[in-house]
Amino acid sequence: MKKYIMLLLIIAVGCSPQKKGEKSGSAMQAIDDATITTLMGSITADMPGADTRLLEKGIRHAASLWRQEDGTAAEFSDFVKNNYIADPAKRKQVFLKISNFLESLSGNFNEIVIDLRKNLDEATGEIDDVDRMFGTYSPGSHLSDDFYTNKIAFYIALNYPYYTLAEKEELGPSWTREEWAMARLGDMFVSRVPAEISQAAGLASGNAEMYISEYNICMGKLRTDDGRQLFPDDMVLLSHWNLRDEIKSNYAEGEKGTEKQDMIYKVMERIIRQEIPKVVINNPEYEWAPFSNKVTKDGKPAEAEPEPDTRYEHVLNIFKAHLAADPYNPEMNTAILRKFSAEMEISQEEIEVLFDSYLRSPELAKLGKLISERLGRELKPYDIWYDGFKARNSYPEDKLTAKTSALYPNPDAFKADMPEMLKKLGWSSDRAKYLADKIVVDPARGSGHAWGAGMRGAKSHLRTRISEKGMDYKGYNIAVHEFGHNVEQTISLYDVDYYTMSGVPNTAVTEALAFVFQHRDLFLLGIKENDPEAEKVEILDAAWSLMEIMGVGMTEMLVWKWLYENPGATAAQLKEKTIDIAAETWNKYYAPVFGVQDSPVLAIYSHTIDVPLYLPNYSYGHIVQFQIENYLKDKKLASEVDRMFSQGRLSPQQWMMGAVGSKISAEPILESLREVLD
């Protein structure tokens, strides 16, 4: 996962004070149409050469943000007359100044956040309450408030107005880079959310992240109902990522592996249903038999209450924080709209149609039958993570871990090897050093993540989990994924022409490059795949993986729709509905493939708890990745990656047109799948 805190995003959410008894949202707007019409006439008379279309757009956008506490209508008119920039050359000069100011603010706030969260994100020892207090504090939460008070927000809104997604799609193809950069500046002020609401949202998310980062299962303490131990004493796996990866790693072990997988799946079910005994979470003092759900300590039965509905309480807390912000976002008045139309720049409805069309594809049932034949048994729900199409299954997990732990005994060793990894991928020595020098590697408390820099001169952070025995293969695989994020973060910051264009269109695009890197993890270890059928097998793997991640994304979208329909729901009600939706989604799309009904497994993903509505980015990223991989087949990866990601933050469809010459679609992967199956 990519963690990327940018001031631009903080401001885009917006903060402002709300006086007691004051109405929220668009009802607080203090400027009427008559004032806007009068202003238009006055300014065009004084500045006959002004672009009237841009002028009206700027006035209306600034007016939509003006509140009674900002001044009277007459004061608004004076502000517009005194601050509107009609001269294009002057407008560009001021734009460049604003860009420099914002880069300084964004970058330095980002560094503060990284520093305050150090003990939460990195393996620095015991976490005290004061670590949580500082780590969940948002130092930039009042900045937008200040920008409205000192009128910077209105200055930007007036001269660099906001363009909707539809407008960007219509006008963007003919825009210059400078016009795109100014439009991205206009994205910064679209709403005004009180600082205390933004702070509450940060606190809810921070608490959920901590809950997930400490949700470890002591695998050596799990027991079959007849008392057998299946996993090593010291194996501790984070839910859900490490549990999922352990399922993947056991496909090469035959019946023994299946027994382990069955047990892990039962653990997942207990977590989803909140039937897991609370005392066994991140606690090696108890033995737990997941099938019978019995707990013992030192061989004697122990009383063990199930975990309360903590998992779903965190989701509710985050939902309520978003709900409180909705009235202050008149154009994007739900978290769903903000996540998709604003952040991903594709509507939730489009995503749902895209997912539905893919998940209904008859080719998936054929693919499921092929997997069943390869396994020599009927499919089980956890086979959504079937990993047998990957070359790595030819190599035992322990041998891969022996190699990675020897290469990377600590984060410094991984950092030192990054230039060589980049050179293997095709970058020159100088370019590899240039990119690697802008990335630091830290020991992660959780499974790992990437956190980008916010200004040129700062460095991206790769957080990876490494035990005292060195980096195991699972950790290495995740680290390579995060390395891809860091490379994107570096190119799209340092090599983009305008700061407001830095970054990528949405997280799906950065996930795409992370997947491109992760896909080459064995290659980076010097393990070559000599199978002439490798390309076909990779297509089968990509198609199956896409099916898996689309289902969890679809489940989460439906859960959040239900939350908006039932804002007063309790954690217990949310739990039951989440399980129902997961089972319904399973029955609709997966039961025809697996022959199994009512599995709740689509609700296990940890991101549904700590980073809600993030999961659809993965599916979107897989689709983008497949298109990029197809494009890269006969080209040099390094130079093409440099070219693609230096485009910066165009809209997703226009970015893809520039990157590979076609828009985003799942049809290419389905077409390839049909060819392989036929």
One-letter-per-residue 3-state SS of 614-630: CCHHHHHHHHHHHHHHH
pLDDT, position 529: 66
CB 141 within 8 A of CB 195: yes
Tell me whether the omega of the peptide bond preceding residue 519 falls within 30 degrees of 0, making it cis: no
pLDDT, position 344: 87
* pLDDT of 15 over the 60 cut: no
661 burial (CB, 10 Å; 0-12 / 13-18 / 19+) is: exposed
Question: pLDDT class for 7, splitting at 50, 70, 90?
Answer: very low
Residue by residue, DSSP assigns 262-314 as: HHHHHHHHHHHTT-SBGGGBT-TT-EEETTTTEEEETTEE---PBP-THHHHH
Phi and psi angles of residue 84, each rounded to the nearest 5 degrees, phi first: -70, 135
* Strand ranges in 362-466 using DSSP code E only, listed in sequence order: 439-443, 448-451, 460-464
In the structure encoding, which two tokens stand for residue 25, read together? 């949202």
Higher pLDDT, 268 or 633: 268
Q: What share of the chain is helix, strand, coil (3-state, %, to 5)?
A: 65, 5, 30
In the structure encoding, which two tokens stand for residue 130, read together? 């004061």
Averaged pLDDT, 376-399: 84
Residue indicated by tokens 């977590």 = 271
Contacts for 504 with CB less than 8 Å, ≥ 6 apart: 488, 492, 510, 645, 648, 649, 655
69 burial (CB, 10 Å; 0-12 / 13-18 / 19+) is: middle
CB 201 within 8 A of CB 314: no
* pLDDT of 95 over the 80 cut: yes
In the structure encoding, which two tokens stand for residue 235, read together? 């194996």
CB 15 within 8 A of CB 192: yes
* pLDDT of 586 over the 50 cut: yes
In the structure encoding, which two tokens stand for residue 285, read together? 């003092």
Q: What is the pLDDT of residues 535-561, one digit of tens each?
A: 888 899 999 999 999 999 999 999 999
Across the strands, what pairs with 295? 288
Query: How many CB atoms sit inside 10 A of residue 283's CB?
Result: 14
* Alpha carbon 500 to chain centroid, angstroms: 20
* pLDDT of 191 over the 90 cut: no
Q: What is the pLDDT of residues 107-119, one digit of tens each?
A: 999 999 999 999 9
Q: What is the pLDDT of residues 164-186, one digit of tens each?
A: 888 998 999 999 999 999 999 99
* pLDDT of 390 over the 80 cut: no
pLDDT, position 530: 67
* HSE-up of residue 481 (Cα within 13 Å, Cβ side): 21
CB 62 within 8 A of CB 154: yes
* pLDDT of 501 over the 60 cut: yes
CB 579 within 8 A of CB 273: yes
Instruction: Print the SS3 string covering 473-538.
Output: HHHHHHHHHHHHHHHHHHHHHHCCCCHHHCCCCCHHHHHHHHHHHHCCHHHHCCCCCCCCCHHHHH
Q: What is the pLDDT of residues 154-168, one digit of tens each?
A: 999 999 999 988 899
Instruction: Map residue 127 onto helix, strand or coil.
Output: coil
Pairwise CA distance, residues 304 & 365, whole Å: 42
Amino acid at 656: M
CB 503 within 8 A of CB 649: yes
For residue 605, the 8-state DSSP code is -
Short-list 30, 51, 54, 55, CA closest to 40? 55
